[in-house]
Amino acid sequence: MKVIIAGAGFAGLQLAQRLNNKDGIEVLLIDQHNYHQFQPLLYQVATAGLDASNISFPLRKVFQNSKNVSIRLAKVKEVKTAENIVVTDIDSFPYDVFVIATGADTNFFNNANLAEKTLPMKSTPEALRIKYHLIRNLEEALDIKDKELLTQKLSVVVAGGGPTGVELSGAIAEMRDKILPKDYPEIDFSLMHIYLVEGSPKTLASMSEKSSEQSKRYLQKLGVEVMTDTHVKDYDGDKVLLQTGQSIPAKTVIWAAGIKGNLPAGVDPDLVAKGNRVKVDRLNRVQGFMNLYAIGDVAYMESPKFPHGMPQVANVAINQAKNLAKNLLRQVNGNKHYQDDFEYHDKGSLATVGRNLAVVDIPKPKIHFGGFFAWLIWMILHLVLILGVKNRLQIFINWVYKYFTFDQSLRLLLTTAKEKDK
């Protein structure tokens, strides 16, 4: 069975690992990057808490001892379902089974200004771009004497009050209070405002009411100005226009307000659900096909527990990949009529706001807790999920060092002074 997997995120990589060195299966893993990136910690790269290499792992290192997994760096342009061919920017590849695991990208809701002028954070290069942008703004702020212009240069608006927005705004606030005054003693950081803008009535809307309230309280404790029930309507590079008509002067807007599926061309538009996700059955088969699958954030699957689609979280992606691997191996071994439906069993959700500040929800039994213990659970879980013992050790050492010193030595501007944010 020739299996092509498009995407090496949580879902695609897990599937390839589960099929690794299995008899009767040949796997081709296609991705635009030669590494797997741990997206939940991208915000720490963006705020100079971790090095990019700490949360990235080379794909070829993962499959060094593989006899049946090949890797190609390419972008999938189209899937020709009638011919069972995947078209990429380097070549076309035939398949017996094609698995779309291309994940999700930033959704700017068709606003060209937001797409051009705000900073998304869905990949390692984008996280590094945010870091370089923040550092460059600080360097340029040293020569600004006008208080209004200085406030505009220093202030940061984070659009989106989900886990990414909450974690990012909290991390920037900690930098402002604990680190940056030591790096830039000439700057008055009371002029640096950090805004978190969320369209719904609360932060962490997907979590419990207690977590939402607690996260907002933690953010305000760190000096983040939380603005709910409004969203960023437009941005011209100098001022943020909110839905309410209010404007915020800021040279930095980080966009964490929405995602959409990365669907290749060739998928029937009638099969595309809200958020640009493809409709799949409980076996993760794209509806109407026997050999076309989608897993992870790009897949829209309904079930009795989740009648409006399963959440776009790493745990769903990983477990869908495990279930699909099991079903594909059964097909190879002649048990194609015995397939397991997928159901997501939510073990809980968590988010961190800052040092000793986090929230955890456990559905069964229904438990909520926050503070230091929740923060400790958050750290342990992320260390377990990181790929590679060396990466885990490096992250742990960095976290311990930062915990006791409030600092890191990763605020490097590895671009020329004249280079633009590209």
Tens-place pLDDT, residues 170-202: 999 999 999 999 999 999 999 999 999 999 999
- List CB contacts of 215: < 8 A, sequence separation 6 or more: 166, 203, 204, 207, 351, 353, 359
Q: For residues 90 and 71, is the Cβ–Cβ distance under 8 A?
A: no
**How much is the pLDDT for 223?**
96
Averaged pLDDT of the chain: 93
Report how far residue 343's alpha carbon sits from residue 396's, in angstroms, rounded to the nearest whole number: 33
User: Averaged over 141-169, what is the pLDDT?
Assistant: 96
Residue 284 has pLDDT above 90, yes or no: yes
Report how far residue 3's alpha carbon sits from residue 295's, in angstroms, rounded to the nearest whole number: 14
101 phi, psi to nearest 5 deg: -130, 40
User: Averaged over 400-418, what is the pLDDT?
Assistant: 80
Copy the structure tokens of residue 57. Answer: 């792992």
pLDDT range class, residue 26, cuts 50, 70, 90:
very high
**How much is the pLDDT for 252?**
97
Report how far residue 219's alpha carbon sits from residue 281's, in angstroms, rounded to the nearest whole number: 40
**How much is the pLDDT for 406?**
84
Instruction: Give me the CATH code for the 2-106+259-332 domain, please.
Output: 3.50.50.60
Domain boundaries, the chain: 2-106+259-332, 112-257
Strand, helix or coil for residue 159: strand
Write the pLDDT tens digit of every residue in 347-403.
Answer: 899 999 999 999 999 988 889 999 999 999 999 999 988 988 888 999 999 999 988
Residue 132 has pLDDT above 80, yes or no: yes
CATH class (in words) of the domain with range 112-257: alpha beta
Beta bridge partners of 91: none
pLDDT range class, residue 418, cuts 50, 70, 90:
low
**How much is the pLDDT for 416?**
58
Residue 36 has pLDDT above 90, yes or no: yes
Cβ-based neighbour number of residue 31 at 10 Å:
23
Residue 417 has pLDDT above 90, yes or no: no
User: Averaged over 300-311, what is the pLDDT?
Assistant: 93
The predicted model scores a pTM of 0.92
Q: Can 2-106+259-332 and 112-257 be said to share one CATH topology?
A: yes
Percent of the chain exceeding pLDDT 90 equals 88
Residue 204 has pLDDT above 60, yes or no: yes
Residue 422 has pLDDT above 70, yes or no: no
pLDDT range class, residue 420, cuts 50, 70, 90:
low
Copy the structure tokens of residue 160. Answer: 């989106």
**How much is the pLDDT for 319?**
96
Q: How many residues does the chain have?
A: 422
Closest among 163, 217, 160 to 352, alpha carbons compared: 163
